[in-house]
Structures are given as structure tokens and as C-alpha cells.
Amino acid sequence: MKLGEVLYDVSPGLKSEFAQDVMAVNTDEKNCCLVGDVYKHAVLTPDIDSILKDIDNM
């Protein structure tokens, strides 16, 4: 997965035993809203090889 200019390795996350929600926060307008429930998780780890390659190309 690529977010901005950084590549990430994605793997499944652990199943949680408690309820979790996703919220969107607008700090400029000082409000927030519920986006929805979280049913599945993922772990994103920066691709270090890609980051080091980008540093070498500077």
C-alpha cells in the first residue's frame, strides 16, 4: 500500500474482543462524527527498503 510517498507492507491484524469505532475529527471546526464500527484490523509497516532507496536517490 502507498500512502503519500511511503510504501507500506500490509498484514492482517489481531481480532479484538471489544467494540471499536472509527471517528473523523475536524480540528478547524472543532467537531467530530462517527464513521462506523471496526470489524477487521490491519497492520501497516513502513517498507524500510523502499525508504532507504529513496534516501540514496537524494
Per-residue pLDDT of the chain in tens (58 residues, 90 and over written 9)? 998 888 999 999 998 889 999 999 999 999 999 999 998 899 999 999 888 887 877 7
> What is the rounded distance in angstroms from the CA atom of residue 46 to the CA atom of residue 54?
13
Does residue 10 contact residue 44 with C-beta atoms inside 8 Å?
A: yes
Contacts of 36 (CB under 8 A, 6+ apart): 21, 22
Helices assigned H by DSSP within the chain: 48-56
pTM for the structure as a whole: 0.57
pLDDT of residue 4: 86
pLDDT of residue 30: 95
pLDDT of residue 56: 78
pLDDT of residue 5: 84
| Amino acid of residue 32 | C
